[in-house]
């Protein structure tokens, strides 16, 4: 069975409360993180335990971490990487000791997900995150970073932490010799080093795709399409090495056949992000409500593919629209994600029952 969750950034960072999440029917747990710990630092076991206790006191479970972020030295593959990997292993051990076994991470250089508008107004007055490649092509990365943070309504967004801002220029320099091949090798190196720890604690590593699924600002991006993921699955051919199947990220490229990718990744999908996008033209899209008819994806086929491969991990509705006057972190309001969760659970129930009656 798939387990429905909501992403939650912690009581100090999220406008959405655990009590609200608990009232959404069918939501069993949260996907959370220690938001204030910079990439590379070891997560203290007591902090993980306190987080777990807080979530459990609200009647929910911690069903995964999104994200334990990877220090750029690991992605660059420089002489400091082993120290940061040792720290990562210590964090995995602490999570494993606390029984938390799904870990989402990404391997995108410098920037995490990228959008050019965090509050594009749709005809019904809702706002969504949107992307236009033409804007990215004309703006300098540092100005882009400033602009993204300035438009987040004061919310510190995942992957856009202000302490990274100061380093943007240095980071671009540090990546100048990192080709796609090198980035891939650095990822394999990292996975091989953490493998014994993951296997000891049965931790499933779920790599998040690059969003959008192509290179931005001239930086290499490697988790973009099926053949590349399969290459990664083979390079470290063990079940701990899996993916976060993020429909919205892979779906930024209309050539990615989302249900087909899910089916091809059977056994290696450890976490699912389910949402919808509306495509306008190549490289121009906006996010949409989860409902199939509101965007370009067939959500029924996506959920069906997850069901068919026997997916049993956590799933979450991904970025929602901002509706009903809510003020929250862009993409992460309560209302539209709650609606999305009910729609996905409805599809799932119908698919399950149709199968039993066969
Ligand atoms: C954005 C998210 C990403 C994702 C990371 C995973 O909303 O989908 O920030 O959490 O890339 O490491």
Tens-digit pLDDT profile for residues 327-351: 999 999 999 999 999 999 999 999 9
Between the CA of 158 and the centroid of ligand 1 the distance, in Å, is 7
Please indicate whether residue 305 or residue 140 has the higher confidence score (pLDDT). Answer: 305
Distance, in Å, from the CA atom of 74 to the CA atom of 182, rounded to the nearest integer, reads 11
H runs (alpha helix) in the chain: 18-22, 45-57, 72-76, 81-97, 133-138, 141-150, 162-165, 168-174, 180-201, 226-235, 247-250, 258-264, 299-308, 335-356
Indicate the range of 34-48, 58-72, 109-123, 143-157 predicted with least confidence.
Answer: 143-157
Distance, in Å, from the CA atom of 8 to the CA atom of 136, rounded to the nearest integer, reads 29
CB of 311 shorter than 6 A to ligand 1: no
Tell me the Cα Rg of the chain.
Answer: 19
Helix (H, G, I), strand (E, B) or coil at 3: strand
pLDDT of residue 167: 82
pLDDT tens by residue, 242-265 = 999 999 999 999 999 999 999 999
pLDDT of residue 103: 98
Active site residues: 208, 246, 273, 318-319, 332
Distance, in Å, from the CA atom of 181 to the CA atom of 77, rounded to the nearest integer, reads 12
21 CB-contact burial (10 Å; exposed 0-12 / middle 13-18 / buried 19+): buried
CB of 76 shorter than 6 A to ligand 1: no
Fold of 3-356: TIM Barrel (3.20.20)
Q: Is the dihedral of CA 174, 137, 154, 126 positive or negative?
A: negative
pLDDT of residue 340: 98
Whole-prediction pTM: 0.97
Of the chain, the end-to-end C-alpha distance in Å amounts to 18
Tell which atom from ligand 1 comes closest to the C-alpha of 246: 8
Q: Which residue's alpha carbon is at the smallest distance from atom 3 of ligand 1?
A: 113
pLDDT of residue 163: 75
Residue 358 pLDDT > 70: no
Please indicate whether residue 30 or residue 152 has the higher confidence score (pLDDT). Answer: 30
Distance, in Å, from the CA atom of 207 to the CA atom of 86, rounded to the nearest integer, reads 19
Tell which atom from ligand 1 comes closest to the C-alpha of 244: 6
CB of 251 shorter than 6 A to ligand 1: no
pLDDT of residue 159: 82
Which residues, at least 6 apart from 44, have a Cβ–Cβ distance to it below 8 Å?
Answer: 94
Tell which atom from ligand 1 comes closest to the C-alpha of 105: 12
Whether residue 276 contacts residue 319, with contact meaning beta carbons closer than 8 Å, is answered with: no
Indicate the range of 36-45, 151-160, 267-276, 315-324 predicted with least confidence.
Answer: 151-160
Residue 146 pLDDT > 90: no
Whether residue 329 contacts residue 115, with contact meaning beta carbons closer than 8 Å, is answered with: no
Helix or strand run (H / E) with residue 241: strand 241-246
Place of tokens 């996975």: 191
Q: Which residue's alpha carbon is at the smallest distance from atom 2 of ligand 1?
A: 113
Cα 315 to Cα 116, 256, 269, distances in angstroms: 26, 20, 10
Q: Residue 340 corresponds to which tokens in the numbers above? A: 């999305």
Residue 115 pLDDT > 60: yes
CB of 290 shorter than 6 A to ligand 1: no
Q: Where are the domains of the chain?
A: 3-356
pLDDT of residue 8: 98
pLDDT of residue 357: 59
Residue 280 pLDDT > 60: yes
Over pLDDT 70: what percentage of the chain?
99
CB of 208 shorter than 6 A to ligand 1: yes
Which residue among 7, 67, 130 has the greatest number of ligand 1 atoms within 8 angstroms of its CB, and so is best to mutate? Answer: 67
Q: Residue 163 corresponds to which tokens in the numbers above? A: 């302490």
CB of 330 shorter than 6 A to ligand 1: no
CB of 104 shorter than 6 A to ligand 1: yes
């Amino acid at each position: 069975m798939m387990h429905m969750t909501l992403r939650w950034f912690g009581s100090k960072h999220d406008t959405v409360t655990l009590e609200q999440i608990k009232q959404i029917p069918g939501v069993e747990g949260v996907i959370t993180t220690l938001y204030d710990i910079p990439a590379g630092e070891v997560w203290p076991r007591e902090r993980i335990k306190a987080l777990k206790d807080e979530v459990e006191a609200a009647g929910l479970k911690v069903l995964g971490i999104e994200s334990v972020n990877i220090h750029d030295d690991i992605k660059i593959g420089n002489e400091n990487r082993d120290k940061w990997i040792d720290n990562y292993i210590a964090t995995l051990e602490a999570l494993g000791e606390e029984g938390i076994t799904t870990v989402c991470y990404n391997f995108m250089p410098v920037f995490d997900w990228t959008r050019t508008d965090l509050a594009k107004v749709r005809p019904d007055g809702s706002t969504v995150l949107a992307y236009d490649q033409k804007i990215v092509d004309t703006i300098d990365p540092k100005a882009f970073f400033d602009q993204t943070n300035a438009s987040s309504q004061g919310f510190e967004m995942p992957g856009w932490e202000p302490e990274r801002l100061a380093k943007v220029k240095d980071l671009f320099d540090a990546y100048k010799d990192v080709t796609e091949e090198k980035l891939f090798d650095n990822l394999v190196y990292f996975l091989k080093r953490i493998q014994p720890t993951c296997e000891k604690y049965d931790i499933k590593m779920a790599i998040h795709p690059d969003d959008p699924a192509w290179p931005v600002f001239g930086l290499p991006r490697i988790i973009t399409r099926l053949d590349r993921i399969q290459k990664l699955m083979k390079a470290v051919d063990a079940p701990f090495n899996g993916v976060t199947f993020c429909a919205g990220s892979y779906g930024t490229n209309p050539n990615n056949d989302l249900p087909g990718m899910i089916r091809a990744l059977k056994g290696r999908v450890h976490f699912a992000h389910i949402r919808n996008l509306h495509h306008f033209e190549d490289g121009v899209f906006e996010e949409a409500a989860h409902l199939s008819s509101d965007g370009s994806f067939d959500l029924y086929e996506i959920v069906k593919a997850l069901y068919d491969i026997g997916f049993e991990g956590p799933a979450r509705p991904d970025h929602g629209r901002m509706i009903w006057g809510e003020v929250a972190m862009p993409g992460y309001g309560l209302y539209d994600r709650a609606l999305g969760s009910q729609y996905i659970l409805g599809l799932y129930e119908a698919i399950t029952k149709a199968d039993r009656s066969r």
